[in-house]
């Protein structure tokens, strides 16, 4: 199972919550949460083939353009599934993850999910009936590793079936 991760600047490790203007880029390296998720993906024959990331400021400056470019990259790389996030406790990241996952599932043939902190209920409520959302704890809260394992498990089920209930 080929996986692409889409992250913000904080989760990618290439920016901070105040350094938001990181340009859209990608790497074949496993970075950020992908490092923690790698063994869980391996258990289900999953492999991160690319990580795409940008700053939330870059995204918010032109969300349609950034999302269009991300969807184009996804089409070219042709993964089995895209994991947007986890956004942890960052509001702008939660919005970006949900919208990009929605755009991927509506404009490409690739399956996608968004991993969003459970305290971002406004984003979860807005997209809950449109995309697969995995609720995660906030940064630093217990249960994060279990949430990462669940993200991988749901990604596998999403690839293996047409629907997640």
pLDDT in the model for residue 154: 97
Tell which wins on pLDDT, 17 or 68: 68
Element (H, E) at 77: helix 63-77
Share of the chain above pLDDT 90, in %: 90
User: Sign (positive/negative) of CA torsion 42, 103, 162, 120?
Assistant: positive
DSSP result, 74-143: HHHH--SEEEE---TT-HHHHHHHHHHHHHHHHHSS-EEEEEEETT-HHHHHHHTTTSEEEEEPPTTSTT
94: pLDDT strictly greater than 90 = yes
Taking residues 127-144, what's their average pLDDT?
Answer: 91
Could you read off the pLDDT of 74-88 as tens digits, one per residue? 999 999 999 999 998
pLDDT in the model for residue 165: 46
Domain-by-domain residue ranges, the chain? Answer: 2-161
Share of the chain above pLDDT 70, in %: 98
Could you read off the pLDDT of 26-64 as tens digits, one per residue? 999 999 999 999 999 999 999 999 999 999 999 999 999
* pTM attached to this predicted model: 0.95
Could you read off the pLDDT of 11-27 as tens digits, one per residue? 999 999 899 999 999 99
Taking residues 92-109, what's their average pLDDT?
Answer: 98
Domain 2-161 has CATH 3.40.50.720: no
């Amino acid at each position: 199972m080929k996986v692409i991760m889409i992250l913000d600047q904080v989760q990618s490790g290439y920016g901070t919550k105040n350094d938001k203007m990181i340009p859209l880029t990608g790497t074949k390296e496993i970075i950020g949460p992908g490092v923690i998720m790698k063994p869980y993906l391996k258990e289900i024959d999953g492999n991160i083939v690319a990580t795409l990331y940008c700053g939330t400021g870059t995204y918010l400056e032109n969300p349609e353009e950034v999302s269009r470019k991300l969807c184009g990259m996804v089409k070219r790389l042709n993964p089995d599934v895209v994991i947007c996030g986890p956004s942890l406790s960052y509001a702008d990241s939660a919005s970006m993850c949900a919208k990009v996952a929605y755009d991927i599932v509506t404009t490409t043939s690739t399956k996608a999910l968004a991993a969003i902190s459970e305290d971002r209920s406004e984003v979860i409520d807005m997209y809950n009936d449109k995309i697969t959302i995995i609720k995660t704890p906030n940064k630093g809260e217990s249960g994060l590793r279990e949430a990462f394992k669940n993200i991988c498990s749901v990604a596998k089920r999403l690839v293996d079936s047409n629907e997640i209930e």
